[in-house]
Structure 1
């Protein structure tokens, strides 16, 4: 049978674009791709990239204060949200153009349209046009989840926060994950009075307990109102703004309420259910280790599968799929030892097991230190950083590394290489320190602070 395409990708985010580019550009496949919104997906258009630029913007007040402490004659200025937003939108336009050019260069045919799957070898665009295809890849990502409470329509999500017409004076962030905690820090750094509600006992669930506790304490010390064990029961429009009636009995008014209570796989309405594709409890597409669904010609990568919802993971999954199906190189992506960073203030970088996970596995040693770093100490700030290694007591292999510090994301990327290679504590010990740096503490900790 002759098909219009060898591969049709639904979704123009990081995973879908990588799979399409590699399949077409490296392996010569005939590839079509449909994207109903902007090319680049969540990460480029409404996630990692604009968020990180906001992180940079939010750090300048502290940098200005430090500059004064170091003798620079500088004064505080006023943050101009419309100026920043216009620059941000220009940068996102540039990045979207780069994504489109990459696909064009690789020979991918782009369809700016919503698409659905008609049968295992046919897709249909919104205008009714149909294409036959040997393989179909679903890479439609995820979508913010907002609980069904009274007044939920008054809230915004991370999708809309970059497009606010003006910066609020008071903001409530609902949620305790990394997206919620990052935006709480971002908005606070831009001069917004921020409260954060989280129904759990501590923010950043899933990260090392000691590390996330340190981040929470630092956020509170900076003036962010972190309220754990608290959730919003309903939102009401009042003369003073949006009133959040909370489970702790309080009623507080805000100019903006941002919900960051998780994301759900964006798989509804694609026609997959009728074909026998299987779904999990959260609506995620179930796939095997090759990213293949229960329908042999249909595959899925990225957040829509709800495996590890990180952009670099989606990219690796997409690349592995293309190499396997079109390159004759069977490739599985191992969803383990994946480093991650939380861009709060201070940042949290993590790779491998938490202390809690490692303790449940067997005997461990924990090497940790906390100190005031030179730069902020000289400026008179009370900030503290933490370096932590979790070590298997018998094999001496480093099972996990957790860093709370400015630029922890940069640190953890390099530490992840050693830990992914199976470095032992003695390998760290044999490494000469770079002085004076914060990271030198990773190779100078000689005695465990505790054993379990």
Structure 2
């Protein structure tokens, strides 16, 4: 059977880029189809532009903090269009860089969305393309609840493109995206009201992380309203009216804009998966592409990686999965990816990060009586002179009988940088004795992990 390509990739996000370039390095004839800018969610409308906004939002605190250290107070002024323009310029630069890297790797880029016609054939514009192997790497997309007026809200995609900074903003959601944008916008001078359905944000993270981030949000001036049910959004002359209930009572307030960040779902619409005979996993909240440990779908020659499989939805995971597929199928190096002990971070303010099991997860798996919990909460040295009520939380979840570290959690500045190193130790099976035998760097926050008693 004749094929146009050895590997055809649908989606030029992190996973698709990694897989196509790795496959081409083994001599495979590869192409990748993308209907939007190259780089996917992470580069174009996710991790990268969001982190740049996080950096920008922190300067307001730095101006204030400097006074306690002897610097004369200044009246700074923030310019929203300047930051947004600079962020988009950097996003465009990175997108072009990834396009150039594809060309250098001899991967053909087709700037259109692909749709399956049959298990080996895709329609791309007016072309029908046949491939021996096909990789689906289409990522995810933001979702919205089914309530009246929800079309008045924007998603994280539009946040990076707003021409004018809203003076007031309502944020809907309890996940990391909603929490991060609340911190960003509050730091940039927008008054944020954050609405969550549950008791705390960041469900699924360790409870001490939830509490630490929640406390930090309040300390930073964010109006967090928990345990609500959103009823309706209404357009008014003064803005968007948000109507919700809490404890059986109806409440209303008006803001300039509403960010809906309640979650994301696999971006499967229009792919034609039924024509390809690719099965879906319908047991989760949203349908995702069902794959085995090799990222292989129900069709042996079709693979899927990244957020569209709804396994661990993180950029480095998609990259690792994509490379593993290429190594296995074209590099004669069969391997799978372990989804255990993958570190993650929330670029909230304060920052949070963790690796391994939360205390609740460890209790479910091992029993509370078989665990030892080491935890400390303190004011970091940096805030000795700022007068702010910032707190750092560090925590170890340890299996009692062998002292193996099951989970490491932190809330505080540079949590992501610190937990990245901790992830290596957890992956290697480090014990509490290993931590205790390690001499810390003093004075630092990170040293608290090796002095916990």
If the length of structure 2 is used for normalisation, what is the TM-score?
0.97
Greater displacement, 423-432 / 116-125: 116-125
Give distance in 1, aligned partners of 2:68 and 2:344. Answer: 32
Give distance in 1, aligned partners of 2:2 and 2:238. Answer: 64
Aligned with 2:160: secondary structure?
helix
Give distance in 2, aligned partners of 1:396 and 1:376. Answer: 33
The answer to whether structure 1 residue 349 and structure 2 residue 356 are counterparts is: no
1:48-86 C-alpha deviation (Å, 9 max, x unpaired): 000000000110011111112211224131110001111
The answer to whether structure 1 residue 17 and structure 2 residue 24 are counterparts is: no
1:378: Cα distance to partner?
A: 2.2
In structure 2, the gaps of 5 or more residues are none
1:102: Cα distance to partner?
A: 0.9
Aligned residue number for residue 81 of structure 2: 82
The answer to whether structure 1 residue 94 and structure 2 residue 98 are counterparts is: no
Greater displacement, 219-228 / 251-260: 219-228
The answer to whether structure 1 residue 289 and structure 2 residue 287 are counterparts is: no
Aligned residue number for residue 326 of structure 2: 322
Aligned residue number for residue 29 of structure 1: 28
CA contact (8 A) 1:349 1:408 kept: yes
Computed over aligned residues only, the root mean square deviation of the Cα atoms, in angstroms, reads: 0.9
CA contact (8 A) 2:201 2:214 kept: yes
1:239-288 C-alpha deviation (Å, 9 max, x unpaired): 11000111221111010100001001001211111332111221200000
CA contact (8 A) 2:119 2:275 kept: no
The answer to whether structure 1 residue 360 and structure 2 residue 364 are counterparts is: yes
Give distance in 1, aligned partners of 2:340 and 2:331. Answer: 24
The answer to whether structure 1 residue 274 and structure 2 residue 275 are counterparts is: yes
1:429: Cα distance to partner?
A: 0.3
Aligned residue number for residue 381 of structure 1: 388
1:187-225 C-alpha deviation (Å, 9 max, x unpaired): 100011101111112110000011111110111122111
1:361: Cα distance to partner?
A: 2.2
Give distance in 2, aligned partners of 1:405 and 1:296. Answer: 45
1:108-147 C-alpha deviation (Å, 9 max, x unpaired): 0000001111112111112x21111100100000000011
2:168 to 167, 170, 186: 170
The answer to whether structure 1 residue 402 and structure 2 residue 400 are counterparts is: no
Output aligned runs, 1:79-228, within 5 Å.
79-126=78-125, 128-228=126-226
Give distance in 2, aligned partners of 1:443 and 1:412. Answer: 13
CA contact (8 A) 2:117 2:275 kept: no
Aligned with 2:99: secondary structure?
helix
1:2: Cα distance to partner?
A: 2.5
Aligned residue number for residue 310 of structure 1: 314
Aligned residue number for residue 443 of structure 2: 436
The answer to whether structure 1 residue 244 and structure 2 residue 245 are counterparts is: no
Give distance in 2, aligned partners of 1:231 and 1:108. Answer: 48
Output aligned runs, 1:49-64, within 5 Å.
49-64=48-63
Give distance in 1, aligned partners of 2:97 and 2:428. Answer: 34
The answer to whether structure 1 residue 418 and structure 2 residue 425 are counterparts is: yes
Aligned residue number for residue 340 of structure 2: 336
CA contact (8 A) 2:166 2:190 kept: yes
1:141-196 C-alpha deviation (Å, 9 max, x unpaired): 00000112111110000000010111101000000000011111111000111011
In structure 1, the gaps of 5 or more residues are 447-452
1:329-377 C-alpha deviation (Å, 9 max, x unpaired): 1110011100000000111110000011112222000011111111112
CA contact (8 A) 1:61 1:76 kept: no
Aligned with 2:157: secondary structure?
coil
Give distance in 2, aligned partners of 1:398 and 1:421. Answer: 10
1:2/1:276 CA distance change after superposition, 3 Å? closer
Aligned residue number for residue 450 of structure 1: none
